[in-house]
Structure 1
Amino acid sequence: MSLLTSPINIGQLELSNRLAMPPMATAKSNENGEVTQELCDYYAEKSAGGYIGLIISEHSYINPEGKASKGQLSIAKDSDIEGLEKLTATIHQNHTITFAQINHAGGLAKEEITGHQPLSASSIEMPKGARSKVEPTEMTQEDIKKVITDFAAAALRAKKAGFDGVEIHAAHGYLLTQFYSPLTNKRTDQFSGSSIEGRIRLHLEIIQAIREAVGKDYPIAIRLGASDHRPGGTTIADSVIAAQEFEKAGVYLLDISGGFSFYTHPDLKEQGYFSDLTEAIKQNVTIPVLLTGGIVDAEVAEKLLREEKADMIGVGRAILKDSAWAKQAIRTLGNQEN
């Protein structure tokens, strides 16, 4: 049997197969970040036929100061729940599991969009290529407490809206990357940038707060920027430790991507270019590990699973380009079994 087409569990939740559509921003929300019919139509098209085992929705901002861009989806207020219910119903009617990705942009937020001065782990300019040259304000203890509270409130909204799970965005240079990376975390308090324990403390406190809000069995995933691919940045060794701690804290799925290398690898271009990260992490945890990164061929996805590089495969741009990609992939692998 094909591994890609075989079921897998995330906690107590069973997925029909191991193919995931990772979060991809659409900018189809209205000016208040609310769900539109255009957004629902987009997800209806992507989930049609139920060929994708898991759809992780585009990143949603947890509070106004954490908004990353115009047209970004909001999960920052209780009134967002009604629209999000329509979104989950759209995906569920196609018999597809869906998680909500929740995020705070931190130092990558823009004041002209949020109306707020960008906040980050430290008052230090983002690394080159990070889409921002504004020096953010270092977060106070009160700022950090608010972010933890807002992540938990957003996760509870996701559950109330019918999402089957929630994913914490801790990749692609956003706030939790800024705490995790030694390049941007120069703090000397309990969130200290000088130790892996300090750099993941905010992640762990957010996971704990979310777990308390949503209950013990609701699936929590985390998208981890597992390497900055830059001198002095986050390394695979760091991320193996982080992944183990996240599993202990109650995370059910590890979705691996880049940190300040964002969603590309500066040195590798072949399909599955983050597989060195996922393989190392998979060898050290028992929960599923999701690999994305330039995968466009079903046969390559199958090969990566068989080589135990990961437990699940995320296909983004190929599905964005061709909504029938998953249908064709599943059928191709099914025909090979006959």
Structure 2
Amino acid sequence: MVKLFEPMTIKDITFKNRIVMAPMCMYQSDQEDGRITDWHRIHYPTRAVGGTGLIILEATAVQPQGRISSRDLGIWEDAHVEGLAELVGLIKKNGAKAGIQLAHAGRKATVDGDIHAPSALAFNDSYKTPTEMSKADITETVKAFRSAAVRADRAGFDVIELHGAHGYLLNEFLSPLTNKRTDEYGGSSENRYRILREVIEAVNEIWTKPLFVRISAHDYTKGGMTPEQYIEMAKWMKQQGVDLIDVSSGALVPAKIPVYPGYQVKFSETIKHHAEIPTGAVGLITSPLHAEEILQNGRADMIFLARELLRDPYWAFRASKELDAEIEVPVPYERGWV
């Protein structure tokens, strides 16, 4: 059987295939209120029509000061639920499961006012210097993730992904390059993991459906995190009930990254086999044959596509033709796929 189109069940949610639309910021909330617009109503359901099994919404801010930009989607207040629920309904009606990435930008926030981070270190000269978070700030942020999970559940999402990658807040705590704290949230790997542990615990108090975490498995900088170092944290995530780790890399600090097709797949493979937890592979995966090879050889359990799904919303249909897999397509499209 073609592995890419093999269903996968996590908890009580069954994904019709292993194709995932990775979270990609759209910056299309147009009134700084974090609400969905017609852009989202068209953009996401189109990929559902196109056969994608799971669609994960872009980084959605759990606190207004945690937005990457003023045009980010938000889930920090109850007023966001109605629009998100509408979007979930459109995605599900067109055959996909719906996920949401809960996020806090940390020191990479570009909104007005103070921004927060584990330590008062700017990303680069173009970014503001953040305020080092107090323990009260950390507690408030953990509660914000929990409240966001409540709202995600009310909106009907099937999956929550916690954004612990790409140099945003949780990632900043995990890496010694950006976490210079001397209290219980800094220093040892266990201490640096503490805020993510607390967030996972808080979310699991109310969330019973699949829970993913995205990580940046490699900092590409001396003294930073590597896939081998993340094995320990991945085991902790598994113990806490995380169902899958979405393995990306980079963007914590300015660094030169060697990029080529599938350049992050080896990181997924390392985490999957050494932590014994399902993983998603992402990063310049464009060919259906490449995606199938990754799955057939046990290097990942799901394929996360990003820019390729911007270029081709119907990638799943093309993949089915190239891999000679029989799949269901919407009735109006059948004439194009016989």
| Amino acid corresponding to residue 288 of structure 1 in structure 2 | P
Distance 2:81 2:130 in 1: 31
Q: Distance in 1 between matches of 2:222 and 2:63?
A: 32
Is 2:107–2:129's contact at 8 Å kept on the other side of the alignment?
yes
SS at match of 1:234: coil
Secondary structure at 1:20's aligned position in 2?
strand
- Indicate conservation of the 8 Å contact 1:52/1:96, yes or no: yes
Amino acid at match of 2:17: N
Q: Deviations over 1:74-99 (max 9, x none)?
A: 11100100000111001001111111
Give the distance between the partners of 2:128 and 2:253, measured in 1 at CA.
18
- 2:15/2:53 contact within 8 Å kept: yes
Paired letter, 1:181: S
**Number of residue pairs aligned between Structure 1 and Structure 2:** 326
1:262 and 1:3 map into 2 onto residues whose CA distance is 36
Q: Contact 2:232–2:275 (CA<8 Å) still a contact in 1? A: no
Q: Residue 13 of structure 2 aligns with which residue?
A: 13
Which of 120, 125, 128 is equivalent to 1:123?
120
Deviation at 1:286, TM superposition (A): 3.9
**Partner SS state of residue 215, structure 2:** strand
CA shift, 1:303, in A, is 0.8
Is residue 35 of structure 2 the alignment partner of residue 41 of structure 1? no
- The CA deviation at 1:132 is 4.4
Distance (Å, rounded) in 2 between the aligned partners of 1:245 and 1:265: 29
- When normalised by structure 2's length, the TM-score is 0.92
Unmatched runs of 5 consecutive residues or more in structure 1: none
Which residue is equivalent to 1:238?
229
- In 2, distance between residues paired with 1:107 and 1:335? 45
- DSSP-derived class of the 2:303 partner: strand
CA distance in 2, matches of 1:132, 1:221: 31
Please tell me the root mean square deviation across aligned C-alpha atoms, in Å. Answer: 2.0
- The match for 2:74 is 74
SS of match in other structure, 1:187: coil
- Distance, in Å, in 2 between the alignment partners of 1:296 and 1:183 is 32
Secondary structure at 1:26 match in 2: coil
Query: Match for 1:251: what amino acid?
Result: V
1:188 aligns with 2:182: yes
CA contact (8 A) 2:171 2:252 kept: no
After the TM superposition, which parts of structure 1 deviate over 4 Å for at least 4 consecutive aligned residues? 261-265
Could you report, residue by residue, the CA deviation over 1:95-147 in whole angstroms, capped at 9, with x for unpaired residues?
1111110100011112xx2x321110011222x5xx84322111000000000
Shift of 1:70: 3.0
Which one-letter code corresponds to 2:324 in the other structure? G
Corresponding residue number in structure 2 for 1:206: 199
Contact 1:20 1:52 in 2 (8 A): yes
Q: How many angstroms apart in 2 are the aligned matches of 1:158 and 1:132?
A: 33
Q: TM-score, normalised by structure 1?
A: 0.92
Q: Cα gap change, 1:169/1:303 in structure 2, threshold over 3 Å: closer, same or farther?
A: same
- SS of aligned partner of 1:283: helix
Q: CA deviation at 1:331?
A: 2.9
Alpha-carbon shift at residue 171 of structure 1 (Å): 0.3
Q: Do the aligned partners of 2:122 and 2:129 also contact (CA within 8 Å) in 1?
A: yes
Q: Aligned to 2:323, what secondary structure does the other structure show?
A: helix
Residues 1:313 and 2:314 aligned together: no
Separation in structure 2 between the aligned mates of residue 161 and residue 22 of structure 1, nearest angstrom: 19
Alignment-derived partner of residue 30 in structure 1: 30
Q: Given residue 24 of structure 1, which amino acid in structure 2 is its aligned partner?
A: M
**1:264 offset after TM fit, Å?**
10
Residue 336 of structure 1: CA displacement?
A: 9.5
Q: The residue matched to 1:184 in structure 2 has which SS?
A: coil
Residue 30 of structure 1 aligns to which amino acid in structure 2?
Answer: D
Contact 1:99 1:166 survives alignment (8 Å) = yes
Could you say which residue in structure 1 is the equivalent of 2:95?
Answer: 95
CA contact (8 A) 2:66 2:103 kept: yes
Quote the Cα distance in structure 1 between the aligned partners of 2:126 and 2:295: 36
Shift of 1:335: 4.7
Amino acid in structure 1 at the alignment position of 2:46: E
Query: Given the alignment, which residue of 144, 149, 163 partners 1:155?
Result: 149
How has the CA–CA distance of structure 1 residues 222 and 263 changed in structure 2, closer, same or farther, with 3 Å as cutoff?
farther
Distance 1:133 1:314, change over 3 A: same
Q: Does 1:254 pair with 2:245?
A: yes
Work out whether 1:56 is the aligned partner of 2:31.
Answer: no
- The aligned residue for residue 163 of structure 2 is 169
- The CA distance in 2 between the partners of 1:265 and 1:12, in whole Å, is 41
